[in-house]
A and B are shown apart, each in its own frame.
Chain A
Amino acid sequence: MKKTCKYLIIGNSAGGIAAAEAIRQTDKHGTAVIVSDEPYHAYSRPLISKYLAGRCTVEDMLFRPADFYAKNGIEAVLGAPAGHLDAAGRTVQIGGDAFAYEKLLLAVGGKPIVPPIKDMGEDGVFTFTRLDDAMRIKEAVASGARRVVVVGGGLIGMSVTEALAGLGLEVTVVELKDRVLSLALDKTCSQIVERTLRENGVTVLTGHSVSQIVRSDEKGRVKGVILNSGQNVPCDLVILAIGVVPRVDLASGTGVAVNRGIVVDRHMKASLDDVYACGDVAEAADVLLGGNRVLPIWPSAYIGGRVAGLNMAGISTEYPGWVSHNAFNYFGLAIVSAGAVETDGEPGHEVLTWSDKESSRKVVVKENRIVGMVLSGDIQRAGILFNLMREKIDVGSFKATLLSPGFGLVSLPAEMRQQMISRPGITDTCLAAFKQPELALSR
């Protein structure tokens, strides 16, 4: 059957929901359809580790209230994978239906990287990016799995490790690099995390990879893994947590320019008219490194989705660009980081550090601009630092105060401070590039 809609949004997570909300802020009646291959109401993907740990239910994970679609007049087509995109004919095949659109948003996210491992099979091997993954792992744990090998010591790996270690399973993390969280943290903080993992009974094997899965002869069940070093690690489950790559299948071969991700301009528009992309599938502006980059983090997905939605609804809006950042809050630690946190002694970088018993702070400065930061323990002022970084503010005149315990808006140069504290109504420096004050949600 052929269906038509004004706005077709493929993807039901941060980016898709953001676009739908932005569209409904300006166009109350244009027909809008949200499509997802997952059968669930929009849920918070990062909470799947809490769900696995038994610390929340599926209802607790809802990203928006249960009446979200109805209240906003949005048709949700869930559990329906998008098939072929015909960009010239402006239709997408979804389930058995062809959906004709005026504006299309591809917010389909990333897909987990599956490394080449001998005897991979499927039984007992999982990825960990979706609710279904968490449900399947939960079942495996319920049916008696006790030992787990987590392949990958990044944020996904850490989240699943915390959940499973908390359930009393024996977890071994196998990380190819010489330290866990090498993309998000500096060496010092990686060491803190590794120490904490070990204190919580987790085995950490850095500098290793898994080359083979060992299965029992009779039923083919996972018995263990063999590492590149030849070492055998017995286990009942293997979880692949190496990261995600943009899910570009839908766009490939359609004329939409794809590099690592779908390339978008500042309006979040892809190379073809009326096609937009955001979130983990998109390659959008990175303000720190310049140019476009895949930045698979939640805030940039939502903000990109919002910008895409406004533009789709005819309100010209620019994406401010974003910076890579992460928050690590497993095993009772609180560490936040952004940008380039490990300089490895590269010239031209100034590394400022401060620490006491509970906290440590580090800021990397290049040409008087903050280019990296990592804070642990007391992270209360992280936002001010992060925004100085994101707005590329010259910190030369107050650099010495950046890490002092009293650092705050009070440390900023007088004019900037004045603007930050006492001019209501124009306080949205946080998203200066949203040059749409009339769209303020309150109006």
Chain B
Amino acid sequence: MKQILARPEFCVDCRLCQVHCQVEHSRSKDMVKAFKREATRPVARLRVEREGAESFAVSCRHCAEPVCVYSCLTGAMRKDPITGVVSVDSQKCAGCWTCLMVCPYSAVAQDKNQHRVVKCDLCPQLKTPACVANCPNKALILLEDKQS
């Protein structure tokens, strides 16, 4: 089971993690095209919060007991029994926002253009998620639980 760990002591609120998350989840996966030419800008699956000097990125924890999955009215949200990744089937998501309400981290994001939710999928095509790979300060690191 993979998990992203935030290390506030190294985060400087540059938000490159958000930018790279958006690019990775864009149609073209090209930064300039994704931000300038695609019809709608992709929504970042994580956000950086800041208060004074304290900042960190918040993304899905892929909880062992995923309350978003339990609360999903349509069956769009599921936890993969093997990888542990919590993902959303955008075709099935009805945009009811119930998962937004129950996630204690507010880690599920609204894609208002598509009227559905989007969330961290740990970048299944990549060895290391884009946010982690592109953090200049290692303020985001990838942990792997060897037990599973």
Contacts and interface: CB of A to CB of B under 8 A. Distances in A.
Nearest to A64: B75
B105 A383 contact: yes
Contact of B67 (A50, A299, A425): A299
Interface string A386-421: 110000000000000000001011110000000011
Given A430-B67, A437-B64, A442 B102 contact: no
A428 interface: yes
Interface in B52-90: 54-56, 58, 61, 63-67, 70-71, 73-75, 79-84
Interface stretch (B3-11, B23-31, B123-131): B3-11
Contacts of B147: 443
Contacts of A298: 71, 73, 98
Contacts, number: 155
Interface in A171-204: none
A63 to B, nearest CB: 4
Given A50-B94, A298-B98, A430 B8 contact: no
B14 interface: no
Interface of B: 1, 3, 5-8, 47, 49-51, 54-56, 58, 61, 63-67, 70-71, 73-75, 79-84, 92, 94-98, 100-110, 143, 145, 147-148
A382 B106 contact: yes
Interface of B is mostly: loop
Nearest to A382: B101
B101 A441 contact: no
Contacts of A441: 64-66, 79, 81, 84
A250 B40 CA distance: 52
Given A429-B104, A431-B67, A437-B64, A422 B5 contact: yes
B101 A431 contact: no
Contacts of A439: 64
Contact of A306 (B70, B73, B75, B81): B70
B102 A430 contact: yes
Interface size range of chain A in the complex: 35 or more
A421 B98 contact: no
Contact of A382 (B63, B64, B74, B100): B100
Contacts of B83: 442
A47 B61 contact: no
A272 interface: no
Given A44-B75, A299-B98, A424 B5 contact: yes
Interface of A: 18, 44, 46-47, 50, 60-64, 298-299, 302-303, 306, 325, 327, 329, 334, 336, 338, 379-384, 386-387, 406, 408-411, 420-422, 424-425, 427-431, 434, 437, 439-443
A64 B76 CA distance: 9
Contacts of B1: 442
B51 A383 contact: no
Contacts of B7: 422
A341 to B, nearest CB: 13
A299 B102 contact: yes
A422 to B, nearest CB: 6
